[in-house]
Amino acid sequence: MMMGRIKPTDGTAGNPEFNAELVAEKIEAITSPPPAPDTSEPDAAASQPAAPQTAAPPAQTVAQPAPVTPPIVSEPPAPQQAAAAPQPAVDESALRYFASRGDKVRLQAEISRLQALYPNWVPPADPLAVPQNGDKQLEAMWQLYSDGRYAELRKAVADRQAADAGWQPPADLLDRLDVAEGRARLVNASDLKQYATVVDIAAATPSLLTCSEIDVLWRVAEAFIQTERAQRGQDAYTYILKNCTNPAERQATVEKASTLLAYQPMQALLALERPAADGSKEFDAIRDNLARRFMAEGDDEPNLAIAPDYIARLEKLAETQGLASDALLLGWYQLRRNNDADAEKWFRAARAKQDSAAASQGLALALIARKAPEEAEDVMFRWRADSDDATSTYLAATANLMALQPPADLAEDVLHRIAGEVIARKYVPTAQQFGWYARSLNQFQTAARWFETALAWKPDDEPSAYGLVITREQLSDRKGVLDLQRAWAGRSSRITNLEDTSSLMPNAVTPPPAKGTLAAQQPAQPTQHPPAEPLPAERRVILQPGSEVVVRAARPSMETVNVPRGPRQTRGCSTTIDAGQLKPADALSRGWCLMDINRPMEAISAFESALQSPSRKVREDAAYGQSLAYLRAGLSGNAAVAATKAPQNRQRAAELQVAILADRALSAFDAGRYRETLIYLDQRAQLQQERIDLMVLRGYCYLNLKMYGDATRIFEAAAATGSRDAARGLADVRNVTHPDVND
């Protein structure tokens, strides 16, 4: 294909004297106010029409210089095809039209497009100097194209051809129209999740695959990934980061890719990061969110090793910001790698911030791993019915608790609630352990009923059958013993060859079970003989340490229950969609979803669509959400504007004002405007009590303004709360005011 032969070119490579900005200014001067349209018919003698270019809507932002169309949807041609045919004449009709209309955006895009297609073409120093013709009908057709009224343009072309058989529309206009309609079809297919169609349209319309059509590139990358061609999707993102220069679009590209690509491909994309003008890294603003994303992937894949930098970053975030979600990510990551102590630490931190089912489940699993099932059962009891995973974790804790040796001294209410859950869930492992627990307390009738119940739920549970046969032997139930031996003949040698156990006394004890792994069982049959009374209701028998007869009966292996986490659920807003096509209420929901997965730039657009709702409540929520999205993106000025788009209640208005003032204070401090920072801090302090971190910021403002007494006073007050930053500030003041003492 042609795109495989063309090399990327700079926007002015063909003419060193051409200055796009100067031409744009000249156009603006000439066309303000715009003159009457005066365009000529595009060159009809061109030997070959220019390659199509996407029609961008009038409100489109300034397009980036269009490098060569990437070989995203097709392989490049073989090297021997590199010899180019004689260069065809260049159709400059679109260039003349955009110049005459004063459309600087499309003028620059058209120049970039023609340079990419025709490397030897030299743009005119002044596009307005190109002779114009007076074809008013063609002028109207170009206007329809600019307005995106493609169906009307098709009709206008057909009507003129019907009226004038000798007239032919410019090839460039028709090619551009084909591309614009292709883009509309591609966007529609993407919104409908018809990903194979997206790829087909992109392959048929390669002119869409340029930096000026960044949304199309995003959609094509997503389509590849959704059709199980992740490498091609990665290639599309790589093309953007190698060729496109718009900072916001590059950052959004990484954010979108992080929701669709795995950890390793994302590292290859991040390697294309460019240094920022201030010496920082290009994607520092989203690196915290990337760390969260990568750690979440590590939670799901135990064999995935996340770089220590990301782990350290998330640990710092968890400690400084105190979000329960960050602590949960760290807890699950460590638990899946059998770092039980670290996992317990982070789950406890998450639970201290917000007691949730996920935090409690993680903590319970960590406690089970370190053989503390009693606390695990207590932690999970509240959340036992929250989900299937939570139920499995709770039942695992009960099985391990009842298997402890020596038996745990459990309160009556704990035993009652465990027994009730086991019977309700027909959970065999804990029912079996209740049998052994009752035997250890010399409650043989109760033990027999629990073993019988476990067998009723799972008739092939050999450990329960063995427990029942030795218990019946001790109760002198010879018929019951023989029935079991016949039933298990050929399946269990220790049951069929049971030795004489007549010497087993009521005070017999059993040794602790072996450890291993016990899988949670689902009952095969409903219970036919449930216990007449749950074990906790019976009187517990205390074994005397001086018992004369102690016979140690062989025990089945009881192994630690390991309950894996369920799979992560795909978020409903992880894929690309045009929020403008959604209903306002749906756009509002999508905006909050995008905020949850830290994609504020896309959330802004979703909330903007929701602002069109006739419902006052929806508009209020949308304005509030858009303000928060702008704040998260570091655009406090835009946040203030967004807050005025719909009336807010007093609480929300105050909350937004506090956040905006804090953000402005931080921005002013970073810019070295310390007096301005103090003004913002004073305004914020009138609305809400000053946080410790902002007190430290105030102290450093005073320090930089050489107001050492005020700085010392602020740092001392903050340091009294235990703030390390404040203590460091005091040291900085001493270093400035008493350098000799510090030396």
pLDDT greater at residue 447 or residue 168: 447
The predicted structure's pLDDT at residue 383: 94
DSSP annotation of 2: G
Side chain identity at residue 8, one-letter code: P
> What is the pLDDT averaged over residues 47-53?
37
Q: Based on the number of CB atoms within 10 Å of its own CB, is 704 exposed (0-12), middle (13-18) or buried (19 or more)? A: middle
**How many angstroms separate the Cα of 75 from the Cα of each of 233, 236, 238, 471, 515?**
14, 13, 16, 75, 57
State the pLDDT confidence band at 242, using cuts at 50, 70 and 90.
Answer: very high
Residue 165: the pLDDT is 81
Nearest alpha-carbon partner for 107 in 125, 135, 89, 127:
127
At 300-315, the pLDDT tens digits run 888 899 999 999 999 9
User: Cα separation of 36 and 502, whole Å?
Assistant: 114
Q: Is the pLDDT of residue 316 over 80?
A: yes
Q: Which residue is associated with the tokens 């206007």?
A: 143
Cα–Cα distance for residue pair 218/234, rounded to 1 Å: 10
Q: What does the pLDDT read at residue 88? A: 60
Distances 349 to 306, 314, 352, 390, 566 between C-alpha atoms, Å: 21, 14, 5, 19, 22
**Distance of alpha carbon 642 from alpha carbon 629, whole angstroms:** 10
Question: Whole-model pTM?
Answer: 0.53
Q: For residue 232, is pLDDT > 90?
A: yes
Percentage of residues in the chain with pLDDT exceeding 90? 34
Cβ atoms of 530 and 502 within 8 Å: the answer is: no
Q: Is the pLDDT of residue 110 over 80?
A: no
Q: For 540-574, what is the HEC assignment?
A: CCCCCCCCCCCCCCCCCCCCEECCCCCCCCCCCCC
Contact 483, 568 (CB under 8 A): no
pLDDT tens-digit map of 401-455: 999 888 888 888 999 999 999 999 999 999 999 999 998 888 899 999 999 999 9
Between CA 694 and CA 705 the distance in angstroms is 17
User: Domain boundaries in the chain?
Assistant: 92-181, 583-737
Average pLDDT, the chain: 77
CATH number of 583-737: 1.25.40.10
Average pLDDT value for residue range 132-154 = 76
Residue 459 above 70 pLDDT?
yes
pLDDT score of 474 more than 60: yes
Question: Which pLDDT belongs to residue 2?
Answer: 34
pLDDT one-digit tens code per residue, 55-74 = 333 333 333 444 444 566 65
* Lowest mean pLDDT segment, chosen from 339-353, 368-382, 625-639: 625-639
pLDDT in tens, 521-537: 333 333 333 343 333 33
